[in-house]
């Protein structure tokens, strides 16, 4: 589903009016257009399914490494910076750091692709928990590994800037699949 920029412009203008501001005044007259352009960028991931994202970033290598099926070899990429928007308030989720880990099952993915997957998945209206689940699903599709873990920590402006207003509150989520679910030694290696 493509993002409808014209509808966004129309509705943002309506929101400005509903707030009691003049949408034609100098500072606001181009705001609906700017917001529509911004939404095209920050919600780009809504244009793609997890399967389509997996196809976009499916760059793996198999010939240089010999992995055994019970291997404890581990690939971990930490501190991937992302931001997203909460589906409940359309509020910014920020200062987010993602850790993605997996045990190779015959092939490895290019490291930059892991960051690109996290970035694309974050460009949706959603929950932090779903970001982790979606990244894990895409990693499973690309690597054929069932052993995937995704840890995310971040701030939510729906908690820090409104409502309870707890500016130091951080939200931590973990998605553990395969051996990561029960193997505490593996879990500790990614912490």
Q: What is the mean pLDDT of the chain?
A: 94
Residue 140 has pLDDT above 80, yes or no: yes
Percent of the chain with pLDDT over 90: 91
76-120 pLDDT tens trace: 999 999 999 999 999 999 999 999 999 999 899 999 999 999 999
Residue 69 has pLDDT above 60, yes or no: no
pTM attached to this predicted model? 0.93
User: What pLDDT, on a 0 to 100 scale, did the predictor assign at position 160?
Assistant: 94
Question: For the residues 146-164, what does the mean pLDDT come to?
Answer: 96
Would you say how long the chain is, in residues? 191
- Alpha carbons 30 and 99: distance in angstroms, whole number: 38
- Alpha carbons 163 and 113: distance in angstroms, whole number: 37
Question: For the residues 58-78, what does the mean pLDDT come to?
Answer: 76
Q: Do 39 and 8 touch, CB atoms closer than 8 A? A: yes
pLDDT confidence tier of residue 63, bands split at 50, 70 and 90: low
User: What pLDDT, on a 0 to 100 scale, did the predictor assign at position 74?
Assistant: 94
Phi, psi of 91 (to 5 degrees): -95, 150
User: What pLDDT, on a 0 to 100 scale, did the predictor assign at position 70?
Assistant: 56
- Alpha carbons 90 and 45: distance in angstroms, whole number: 15
- Alpha carbons 67 and 105: distance in angstroms, whole number: 7
Percent of the chain with pLDDT over 70: 94
Where is average pLDDT lowest: 53-67, 99-113, 136-150? 53-67
- Alpha carbons 5 and 148: distance in angstroms, whole number: 36
Residue 65 has pLDDT above 70, yes or no: no
Residue 67 has pLDDT above 60, yes or no: no
pLDDT confidence tier of residue 64, bands split at 50, 70 and 90: low
């Amino acid at each position: 589903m493509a993002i409808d920029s014209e509808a966004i412009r129309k509705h943002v203008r309506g929101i400005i009016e509903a707030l009691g501001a003049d949408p034609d005044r100098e500072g606001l007259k181009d705001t609906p257009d700017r917001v529509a352009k911004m939404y095209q960028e920050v919600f780009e991931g809504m244009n793609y399914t997890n399967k389509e994202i997996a196809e976009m970033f499916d760059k793996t290598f198999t010939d240089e490494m010999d992995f055994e099926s019970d291997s404890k070899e581990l690939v971990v990429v930490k501190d991937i910076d992302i931001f997203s928007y909460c589906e409940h308030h359309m509020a910014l989720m920020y200062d987010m750091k993602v850790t993605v880990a997996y045990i190779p099952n015959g092939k490895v993915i290019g490291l930059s692709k892991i960051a690109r997957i996290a970035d694309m998945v974050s460009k949706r209206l959603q929950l932090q928990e779903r970001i982790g689940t979606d990244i894990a699903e895409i990693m499973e599709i690309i690597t054929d590994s069932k052993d995937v873990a995704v840890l995310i920590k971040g701030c939510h402006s729906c908690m820090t800037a409104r409502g309870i207003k707890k500016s130091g509150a951080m939200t931590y989520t973990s998605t553990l699949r395969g051996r990561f679910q029960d193997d505490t030694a593996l879990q500790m290696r990614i912490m």
